[in-house]
Structure 1
Amino acid sequence: SRILYTEKVACVVPSECVKHCGTEVGCSNYAYPLLVMELMPSGLRGLMLSVMLASLMSSLTSIFNSASTLFTMDLYTKIRKQASEKELLIAGRLFIILLIVISIVWVPLVQVAQNGQLFHYIESISSYLGPPIA
């Protein structure tokens, strides 16, 4: 995409990058969407969008489900020792709603803090939380 769209993706001058994509550090976040929108026919664009949304929903569902289970079984049962199954279910669902709200509020903060470089932010968080390989 840097070869095909040199003005939009491969900008070097920070003022040009701000004009095209809104960040001074580069427009690499726009390379893949630009390739999909410009080169693929409309039917494949829709298929690509549905594939990306399905993978996003799958990942978020598993993360929210795991976090809700950890909260409900490890923390909520310590607070309410005699909680019924229905109460645990409601507490888990409310915790998922809280996680969704926190996630939505967190996105603009990440974009401002990292100049739109979301990939670098995700990789830095993963390196802190993940176990070392070597």
Structure 2
Amino acid sequence: MQLIQTVIVKQVLTEKSKKQLFEKFQGRLLQLKKESEQLLFEQRRLEKTKNYSPESLKEKFKAEFQIRKEKMQLVEFQLEQLHNLPLGSEIQEREVQALVEVNVGDSWDERVVNPTIVIEDGILKEIR
């Protein structure tokens, strides 16, 4: 019988992967800043049309700005943590689904307990 199981994928932090993560976080931060600027532009444009009440418009955009601000704070925190992590650290990158073959007589704990894949610089290093 086959089961679908969640497998944790971890990445070993190297100079190369640290640089890639840094660039990814910086790109996300830049994207969020652009979204905030676009929201501000859109808010000003809609205020000029006078089709919407200024109060409801401000409330709606305020909520959207707050969402972007919280996301930017999270990315900044991630950048800080990345800076503090030593090389060789394992960080969880994602989770994937895998098929696991189980048979009568297999040890349940050994077959189903949190399997992990470790990747270093894009190369599978270990399966635990």
Q: Same fold (TM over 0.5)?
A: no
Report TM bin, short chain. 0.3 to 0.5
Which structure has more strand as a fraction of its residues? Answer: 2
Q: Which has the larger radius of gyration?
A: 2
- Taking structure 2 as the reference length, the TM-score comes to 0.36
- Taking structure 1 as the reference length, the TM-score comes to 0.35
Which structure has more helix as a fraction of its residues? Answer: 1
